[in-house]
Structures are given as structure tokens and as C-alpha cells.
Chain A
Amino acid sequence: MNLTSLLALIVSSTLVYSAPLILASLGGVYSENSGVVNIGLEGIMTVGAFTSIIFNLTFAQDFGAATPWLGALVGAIFGLIFSLLHAFATINLHADHIISGTVLNLLAPPLGVFLIKAIYEKGQTPNITANFGYTNIPGLADIPVIGKIFFTNTSAPAWLAIIITVLLWWILYKTRIGLRLRSTGENPQAADTLGVNVYKMRYIGVLTSGFMAGLGGAVFAQSISGNFSISTIVGQGFMALAAVIFGKWNPIGAMLSSLFFGFAQSLSIIGNQLPGFEKIPTVYMQIAPYVITIVVLVVFLGKSVAPAAAGVNYIKSK
């Protein structure tokens, strides 16, 4: 294996594993910046995964190559619907954000398996035929060396996720709605007195997280697992949450962290193909994202990098 194809292998598998993390962590960034802690990303990803798989299995013959993309959209929409539960509970009913998020995580896997049993009469779906697979990006793939490493046989959802990252960063920091959204996570009381609709902004934050995590779950299911069972989404959502923290609640930071975690995950899988990596126990790669997140939290000490009012319920006085 020459260096270029070695790098190409690492890059493409990193991108494949990063894509779901980038998408879900962007959702986490939005939710937390609006002031709602969302540890339910895992559950939302599960919903995105099983709805997209059901869609994919049902409509693959109708939509052909477009199926996984439509499936991703379906997963995102159902993720958004599922996150309404978290939004309603925390924003309107003042529920504890951690408990409400835990409910999402408790609810999604059995709900998915229940429906799959009800539809397919077994606890695991068949494998999908139309998955994301690998793509050559037109134009860019022809660039010498770089084209081969980054844009040939690569993950299209990952590049889409990177584009979405830039877009969401721009919205969060450069537009009116972004400023208002961040203000409700920073000081909802101040925002309210200035006429910012705190509930609306927080709904936008949570529903964005639902959409993005649903999308992430759908991408994972349709590019990595290929089917849905109780063990499809195990820890992906929590790793996305880790990326939110490691990325300091910033979309770009979350994307870079996700890429790094995706790299660690892919190493634990393709490591034995890489010279020098085959002797390292995969456990180090598996636990790296989680250990790093703890270390990062400790190193930042109590410095308030998180939105000041994340997790704090706001009650309108009228």
C-alpha cells in the first residue's frame, strides 16, 4: 500500500465514521446554545436510524439511488418530531433537562424495536440494499493527489455535513436569529426583557437538534450498520455530546472534534490494515473520545465555556 492510498483509506473511513457524529453534534450545539441541555441525542439518533431504515426498505425500488438521501430526510423529520417531546417537557413543563433527555434515550430503542417487531415480526430488520456507499465528488476528484485522498471513494454525507457545519456556524454567529438563540442560552431573562421570545428560540434550538441528530442517526444506519436492531445506535449520541463539549459549544469546534473522534473510531476498525497500528489494542481507540472529553473538561477547569444558562429553565412571569 503506497502512502497516497494509505492516506485515502484513513481519510475515507474517518469521514464515514465522522459524518453521523458531525451532524448530531451540530444539533447538540444548537440545543445547548439556546439553553437546553440535550443528552437525548442518542435516542433521537435511534429514531432517525430506524425510521430511515424502514423508509429505505419500503421504497428502495421506487427511488433507486436517491433512496438513502430521502431516507436521511425522513430520519431527520422523525428526529425532529421526537425531539418535540424534549422541547415540550423542558421548555413548557419545566422538566429537568437531564431526566427528560434520559427519557428520550430510554424510549427510543424499545419504540424502534417494538415497531420493527410489529412490522417485520422479528427484532431486526433485513439489510438495506440502497446505502450511501462511496462517492467520487465530481470535479474535485480529478485534482492530483488531494483529489485521490479526499474526494475519491469518499463519503458524500460527510462532505454535506461539513458544508452544513459552515452554514450553521454562520447562522449562529452572523445572523439575527443566531444572536437571539445564543442570548436565550446565555441570559434568558435579559433576552425576554428585550422582547426576544425565549420559548420560541429554545424550540428552534431543540428542534434543530432533533432534525440534525435524526439526520445523523439516518446517515449512520444507511452507511455503516445497514439495518436496524436494538444495538444499532450504541453510544454514537453520547459521542456526539462529547464532541459538543470538546468543540466548546461551537459548530466548527464540534465538527473538528467529530472528525477526530471519527478518526479514532475508524482506527479501531481499520487499524489492523495500517502498518504500526496493528499491535495497539483497539480498546485505546475505542475509549479515546470519552477519555479525551473528560480530560478536556478537567483542563478547562470551571471556566465557563458552556452557555451560562444551559440547563436552566426559564419561567415567564405571566
Chain B
Amino acid sequence: MIKVSAKTKRYLVPIISVIAGFLIGAIIMLIWSYNPITAYSSMFASALGNMNGLGETIREATPLIFTAVGFAIASKAGFFNIGLPGQAQAGWLTSVWIVLANPTLPKYILLPLAILAGALAGAIVAGIAGFLRAYFGTNEVITTIMLNYIVLYLCQYLMQQVMPESLRNGADTTKDIPANGSLHLDWLSHLFGDSRINAGIFLGVGAILIYWFLMKKTTVGFEIKAVGLNPFASRYAGISAKKNIILSMLLSGGFAGIGGVVQGLGTYQNYFTQTSSINIGWDGLSVALLGNSTAIGILIASLLFSILKIGGLGMQTVAGVPYEIVSIVIAAIIFFIAIKYVFDLLFAVKKTASYKHPLKKGTEIGPNNGVDGPNIKLQKEGPVL
């Protein structure tokens, strides 16, 4: 057992998880006779080694920042928003549709309108789960999973049956959006080797800052955190649990929705039929888990996963390793994050101060929890007094 401070441990867990995840990937490659060193080096080279790769990596990270911030806000309020794919997809289709339907509006109206509409669409989808949780106590994990599929099929239907044919190219793809509804910036794209990097990244950095400020500096963030940590005590203290459940889910879905918007108005410049839950949702969830829902953690994790995803394409061409190894590595990283108990066994946190009940471990139950605890000894022991 190694003794570390609580702060060091917070950094060690994700770092070791990432290393372990890469090792798992390497082992799988070795089993199938691929060379992991060639694979990983070609991965980093193609993601970071040239301006185009760099631009694509940043572009890839942009929607992940939004979906991860969305996940993080809900998780601060104590909710596991697994509905990010559906919320992002709703935002994507809505924003593209708005832009296509109003091609003549000036950019300074159309773009904000489309972004807000996308955010609203995501917020509504998540808000349903929040509302049901607040008023009926319905488990949000289940409702958001179910909403993913409801949104998936509804979007197929809306795209194929309801959207006017004048906005589409055939049944499965919309027309490309006009320039005054696009996040594309010529100079930025040129700067990064004509990649698809777009103004979304500035919005993304803004989202990170807003998230940080909201959680750390405002009473809104204080309430959300309080409700998330102990809804009973919060209610007792006069903080409306209902309001904060719904608010946090609306914010969560809103950010996820913008994640979809930057795909539509930034990356692809259109919408096309999806046949399964969209990736940025699941990846955003992974980013938030790896980044431990902190602002800086989300930024770093989203860039890391983007390096994997963009670099993975290069790795497939250069080293001939199937691209899927990237997703396996990501899943493995999240697995190591999930089993943080192992880290508790490996690293003991140096005692900062007082004595802790030996049997109490979070919400988990074990014999004799909290009964007849040896609390009173504290007054005689410990360095506190």
C-alpha cells in the first residue's frame, strides 16, 4: 500500500486508468500479431503530427466537450444521464432543420437561433426524464435509455417522412447548410491544413468556462451540488429538489444538444439518418467519467479521446490495425475508472485529520453500519484538538 495525499490520488486514478487502458489495447494487438508500438506511434503521429490532424483532433473534441459537460452537470445533481446520444441527436437534427428552413436569415440571427433551438431540443428530451424523476420518482437511467431509442426512431421518421423534400437529398441525407448558418470559419480551417475544425471549439471552451463558473461560484451550482450529494438534507434546508432536478437535466440536455449542433453546423454541415445511438453521446459520457466531471478534466479527457479517435484512422492505414482497437482502449479506460476500489487498495490516502468510521463506505451497506459507532473517541484521540 502506497500512501499519497487525497489530491495526488485524484490525479493518479485517471492517469493509471489511461495507461492501463493503453496496455490492454497493446495486449490485444500482440495477441493478433499487430505491433502495438508502431500502432500507437502512428496514432499519435497522425493525430498531432500535422496541422490537419491537429485540426481534426480539436474538431473531434468539440462535441465531446459539450456532451461531457452535459453529463457532468447531471451527475453533480446525482443523476446518471445516459440519454446523451438522444439529446445530441435531437439538437443536431433541429439545428440543421432550422438553418435549412430559413436560409435567407442573416447569419447573426440564424446561427444563434439554430444553436439555441438545438440546445432547446436536447433540453426538452432530457427535461422529460428530469420531470418524471422530479414528480414521479421515475429512475432516470431507464427513462433516458428509453428516450435514446424514442429519439432515434422519431428522428428517422421526421427526416424521412416529415421533412420537406426540398430540404433533402434523397431519403437519408439533408442538403448541405448555407454559409450563413454554418460554424465553418475559412481562416481557421486553412490554419489547420483545411481540416473541418470550426467555430464550435470556441463555444466549447466557453462551455467549459461556464460550467466551471456555474459549479464553483454561483448559488445555482451550490444548490445542484447540495441536491446531488444529499437530496434529503437539501429539501430540509429549503432547497427545492424538484426545481434542481429539472434544472440540472435541462442544462444537461441543453449542453448535449449543442454537442449535436456542432456536429451538424460544424463538422458535417448536414444531417443524415442514424441507425444507432450516436457516438458523441457515449464518448461524452466516457470523457466526463475520465475527467471526473471537473472542468479541466473534461477538457483534457476530450482531447485525449479525440487523439485516439483521429489517430486511430491513421493507425489503421499506417499500421494496419483495425480502428476498433481505439474503442476497446476507451472502454478499458472507463472500466479501470469504474473499479476505483482497486485504487483504494493500492493507495492509502494520508490521514488529513480526524478518525473515520471504519465500517462506513459511501452508500454501500455492511454489517453494523453507523450503529454504535466509535465517534465519541475523537475527543480524546486524533490531532484535531
Interface residues, chain A, with chain B CB atoms under 8 Å away: 39, 85, 89, 93-96, 98-100, 102-103, 105-107, 109-111, 113-114, 117-118, 188-189, 192-193, 230-231, 234-235, 238-239, 241-242, 245, 281-283, 286-287, 290-291, 293-294, 297-298, 301-302, 309, 312-317
> Is the CB–CB distance between A110 and B325 below 8 Å?
yes
Report the separation of the CA atoms of residues A39 and B368 in the bound assembly, to the nearest whole angstrom. Answer: 30
The residues in B between 147 and 167 inclusive whose CB is less than 8 angstroms from any CB of A are 147-150, 152-154, 156-157, 161
- Residues of chain A with a CB closer than 8 A to B332's CB: 107
The one of B289, B322, B327, B363 in contact with A118, judged by C-beta atoms closer than 8 angstroms, is B322
What residue in chain A is nearest B146 (Cβ atoms)? A290
Complex: how many Å from CA A121 to CA B156?
Answer: 31
By a CB distance below 8 angstroms, the chain B residues around A111 are: 324, 328
Does A100 contact B146, Cβ atoms closer than 8 Å?
no
Chain B proximity of A13: nearest CB distance (Å): 19
Taking a contact as CB atoms under 8 Å apart, the answer to whether A107 and B331 are in contact is: yes
Provide 11 A-B residue pairs closer than 8 Å at the C-beta atoms, listed in order of the A residue: A99-B334, A103-B335, A105-B282, A107-B331, A111-B324, A189-B367, A242-B146, A290-B150, A297-B136, A298-B138, A317-B367
Tell me whether A189 and B324 are in contact in the complex, defined as CB-CB below 8 angstroms, given that A89-B338, A286-B153 are known contacts.
no
* Contact across chains for B142 and A297 when beta carbons are under 8 A apart: yes
Chain A contacts of B147 at CB under 8 A?
290, 294
Asked if B366 and A234 make an inter-chain contact with CB atoms under 8 angstroms apart, the answer reads no
Complex contact B331–A281 (CB within 8 A): no
Is A114 a contact of B328 with CB atoms below 8 Å?
yes
Residue of A nearest to B337 (CB): A99
- The reply to whether the CB of B341 lies closer than 8 angstroms to some CB of chain A is yes
Q: From known contacts A95-B341, A103-B335, A189-B367, infer whether A110 and B324 are also in contact, taking CB-CB under 8 Å.
A: yes
At the interface, is chain B mostly helix, strand, loop or mixed? helix
CA distance A39 to B277 in the complex (A): 15
Contact partners of B137 in chain A: CB under 8 A: 301-302
Closest-by-CB residue of B relative to A302 is B137
Interface string of B268-292 (1 = CB under 8 A from A): 0000000111000010011001000
Decide: A287 and B132 in contact? CB cutoff 8 A.
Answer: no
CA separation between A106 and B329, bound complex, in Å? 10
- Chain B interfacial positions (CB closer than 8 Å to A): 28, 32, 80, 82, 132, 136-139, 141-143, 145-150, 152-154, 156-157, 161, 275-277, 282, 285-286, 289, 322, 324-328, 330-332, 334-335, 337-342, 359, 361, 363-368
CA distance A245 to B285 in the complex (A): 24
Contact among B142, B149, B154, B334 with A102 in the assembled complex (CB-CB below 8 Å) = B334
7 tightest CB-CB pairs across the interface, nearest first? A110-B327, A110-B324, A107-B331, A283-B157, A302-B137, A106-B331, A290-B146
What's the Cα separation between A245 and B146 when bound, in Å?
12
How far does the Cβ of B269 sit from chain A's closest Cβ, in whole Å? 24
Q: Which of A110, A193, A234, A283 contacts B328 (CB 8 A)?
A: A110
**Choice from A102, A231, A313 contacting B364 with Cβ under 8 Å:** A313
Contact B154 A302 (CB under 8 A): no
Chain A residues whose C-beta falls within 8 Å of the C-beta of B82 in the assembled complex: 39, 98, 102
Chain A residues near B276: list those with CB within 8 A.
Answer: 230-231, 234-235
Residue pair B322, A114 in contact (C-beta under 8 Å): yes
Indicate if the CB atoms of B364 and A312 lie closer than 8 Å.
Answer: yes
Q: Is A315 in contact with B364, judged by CB distance below 8 angstroms?
A: yes
* Residue with the greatest number of chain A CB neighbours at <10 A, chosen from B148, B154, B324, B332: B324
Given the interface contacts A114-B328, A314-B366, A315-B366, does A89 sit within 8 Å of B322 by beta carbon? no
User: How far, in Å, is A196 (CB) from chain B's closest CB?
Assistant: 14
A44 and B275 alpha carbons, distance in the complex (Å): 20
Known contacts A98-B82, A114-B28, A317-B366; decide if A287 and B153 are in contact (CB<8 Å). Answer: yes
In Å, the complex CA distance between A302 and B139 comes to 9
Contact between A89 and B335, CB atoms less than 8 A apart: yes
Instruction: Write out the residue numbers on chain B whose beta carbons fall within 8 Å of the beta carbon of A110.
Output: 324-328, 331
Structural contact, A287 and B154, CB atoms closer than 8 A? yes
Using CB atoms, name the residue of chain A closest to B143.
A294
B335 in complex: contacting residue of A100, A230, A290, A291, CB < 8 Å? A100
With CB as the reference atom, state the residue of chain B lying closest to A235.
B149
Q: How far is the CB of B84 from chain A (nearest CB, A)?
A: 11
Which residue in A39, A234, A309, A314 is a CB contact (below 8 Å) of B145?
Answer: A39
Q: Do A114 and B143 form a contact, CB below 8 Å, given A102-B82, A188-B365, A283-B157?
A: no
How far apart are B338's CB and chain A's nearest CB, in angstroms?
A: 4
